Amino acid sequence: MKRILFFALLSVLFHSCTNDQSKPARTSEYKNYITGLASPIRLKFDSTTVFLGDYFTDVNGIEKIEFSGQEIHADSTGKIVIKQKPETVISNLKVLYKNQVHDIPVFATEKVSHHFTYKPSSDKVTVVEMSGSMNGWNRKATTLLKEGDVFATDLILNNGLYQYRIWEDGKEMMDANNPDQIANGMGAFNNTFYAGQKMEVSPTIHTREARDGVVEISASSGVAQLSVYFENIQIEAIQKENHTYLINIPAESNKLKRSHIRVFASDGIQRANDLLIPLSYSKVINESSQLDRTDMRNSVMYFMMVDRFVNGNTGNDRPTADPAIHPKANNLGGDLQGITQKIKDGYFEKLGINTIWVSPVCQNAEGAWGLWNKGVESKFSGYHGYWPIALKQIDNRFGDEASLKELIDVAHQHNMNVIIDYVAHHVHQDHPLYKQKPEWTTPLYLPDGTMNTEKWDEHRLTTWFDTFLPTWKFADHEVVEALTDTAMYWVEHYDLDGFRHDATKHIEEDFWRTLTHKVKKYGEAHPERVLYQVGETYGSPELISSYINSGELDAQFDFNLYDASVDAFGKDESDFKNLDRVLQESMHYYGSHHLMGNITGNQDRARFISYADGSIQFSEDAKLIGWTKDIQNKGAEGFEKLAALNAFLMTTPGIPCIYYGDEIGMPGGNDPDNRRMMHFGDWNADQQNLFERTQKLVQLRRNNLALTYGDLFVLKNDEETFIYVRSYFGKNVIVVMTKNQNTEWTFQIPKEYKNSSWQSLGGTGITLANDQITSIPVKGKKISFEVFY
């Protein structure tokens, strides 16, 4: 979330410390020139390039840079290279900018050198390649070398678990010599290996009490370092007894409706969770009512495809008149007016939604394109919005400029944000700009004569999505300038609250830096506007996080967490171990209080409920099934599993995002069967019950600060039980998940997470009394959950 803050800082300490000895204070007036909270710099293995333009909109204002006691010099673009190895896990980059000091957290590298070996299936194998989460699943990026009777390579990786598959002379296979494997979410498995040292116990820090301008926090016994920031200034923490620390809230926060204190810590080896403490006019926020729709951590998002939600104006219905298009792949009549009607009707408010994400609204191609020819043969219309032929014009099948402006105005009147889906990566071949400047796009054919389509990993930044969808040449800055200006048209012409960016990883980072720089400059002139930018990247956490920083995006959708959730809640044979690992991994890469989108589903996946109730097997081709089978709900089990998935997403860090229809358990295979028309007023008992349970979860999420700013700690995780707590200044929410439970069990809540009284959502078989949780098996029930608050 990009927010411009200018404030006077009359007395701020130069460094944080972990003792009660004070430091000399700065008394000159201070202005914060960094937009929002400075994203931490994560050092790499050898040297690290930092673009200070990510933090400051005018790098000419940089006067001095200091790191680890040494001065660093930036080039004319504001780029610096850090080669020093800090002595601590958390250090600080100090930048003097326009005579004002700014502090940026720096995290020591977590990268290790890992020697990987593989014994081939035959001594006749000549070429061994590896694809996996360490190289973006691009086998051409990692070719192993022959070492005796094995093939080997040295990898520089972050400490952690990695998935991979082997390619012998072009043939993909599992590593038969490695028994460690994990389900890949598509009915098969990947091998795994661990790089670095497994850490069984991590250090922790906790919020304890806020009183009279002072924040009290505590740390586990191993914590050896604490770094505290008020906005983008490092301040001190005074160490007291029993591993507690006091932080004085700077008086300058009196002038700010919203400011933040951040706390980072380590035990000298690894980082702890981080704390994010929101302030309002110098006081710690203690009620959700103090938050507004610009506080994105209090958001619950809802995504709908315009054409598939509500038909509000039959006058613009215009399906493509081509018999080659199956009805489910054609326009069905949904429009912007239909979405506006549902806002006015109070549907979203009733559910608790305060942010809606609208699929692309630009004018899309006419006619029939593409081809599906398995089981059923069909072409497609551009009903979905991802084939633009005009980048500043509303699709006339969805409405017009007035329709979008009314939607935004009505949403704002109902205290809702509107985020628009923006397609920057490609256009349709009928776009006039492509016809005028074909040299602005990447070649369709590679040097070897093969077609560069759907090469998602091997040619990530140049591949075409289809033969009629040319990819822009983002390596050319002239193209970047033109296309970012087009994106800014939507910011300047409509009162939007942000973008969902399509195909993020397929676009050069220069585009994201240029666009975000323009967003910041616009924000300086319009400080009332807060814009949230979230991307779409399928890949490793390292790849995903590389786009999330002060100079690029606020967040991306966390597909790795979604895949782990589908596995944990959708498969009876899976436990919660991998879900916990991926959850911890996400918080480590993106921060304990990240703004990642946590989805219930999306337009590119089969509906979760149809996996969960057995309508689709994980080993089946979900797209083929969607064309050839009439998939309907199959009993209560799928609804129960979807309710559990919703409970998980509503109680973990990030921004929950409901894919339209998941609140009532709409079934379906993959695209286009997962894009059926939304329906209202004809729900059966299971659908109505799921809606009401989702409604309760959303309302709890929006009204309990432990679920928006609280830190997450896992209390128990075994084969059948997953218990975690979200904790914020004495407010605690405990979530209990069970699977395939056979015996009754009890769990005593640790004293530091006890509430004075407890309420629950009212699940089945799980109770809390005298600070003890009891779970009783329910016959025939494969999954149960409860939330205590």
* H/E element, 434: helix 432-436
Report whether pLDDT(3) > 60.
no
Q: What's the pLDDT band for 29 if we cut at 50, 70, 90?
A: low
Residue 418 pairs in a beta bridge with: 356
What is the C-alpha to C-alpha distance for residues 269 and 224, in angstroms, rounded to an integer? Answer: 9
Beta-sheet pairing, 244-248 with 214-219: antiparallel
Q: Is the pLDDT of residue 453 over 90?
A: yes
Q: Give yes or no for residue 2 having a pLDDT over 80.
A: no
Whether the per-residue pLDDT at 5 is higher than 90: the answer is: no
Which pair of structure tokens corresponds to residue 116?
């990987």
Stated pTM of the model: 0.94
**Which H or E element spans position 132?**
strand 128-132
**Residue ranges in 263-417 assigned as alpha helix (H):** 336-345, 347-351, 401-413
| Two tokens, residue 188 | 């098969």
Alpha carbons 788 and 736: distance in angstroms, whole number: 8
- pLDDT of res. 30: 61
- Residue 409 has phi, psi (to 5 degrees) of -60, -45
Tell me the pLDDT tens digit for each residue of 356-369: 999 999 999 999 99
Which pLDDT value is given to residue 71? 96
Q: 259: which 2 tokens?
A: 């400011």
| CA gap 104, 82 in Å, rounded | 13
Token pair for 217: 């926090």
* Angle at alpha carbon of residue 772, lines to 770 and 776, rounded to 5°: 125
Name residue, tokens 């054409």: 307
* Alpha-helical segments (H) within 39-189: none
Beta bridge partners of 420: 358, 499
Q: What is the pLDDT of residue 96?
A: 97
Q: What share of the chain is helix, strand, coil (3-state, %, to 5)?
A: 25, 30, 45
With a cut of 70, say whether residue 244 has pLDDT above it: yes
Give residue 720's pLDDT.
87
Residues 264-273 as b/e (b if ≥16 CB within 10 A, e otherwise) read: bbbbeebbbb
Question: Which tokens hold the place of 187?
Answer: 């009915």
Residue 203 scores a pLDDT above 70:
yes
Residue 451 three-state SS: strand
Q: How confident is the model at residue 168 (pLDDT cuts 50, 70, 90)?
A: very high
Q: Would you say 155 and 142 are in contact if contact means Cβ atoms under 8 Å apart? A: yes
Torsion sign across C-alpha atoms 282, 287, 290, 291 = positive
The rounded distance, in Å, linking the Cα atoms of 368 and 454 is 20
| Vertex 685: Cα angle to 683 and 687 (nearest 5) | 55
DSSP 10: S
Q: State the angle between helix axes of 577-590 and 559-570 in degrees (0 to 180), rounded to the nearest 10.
A: 160
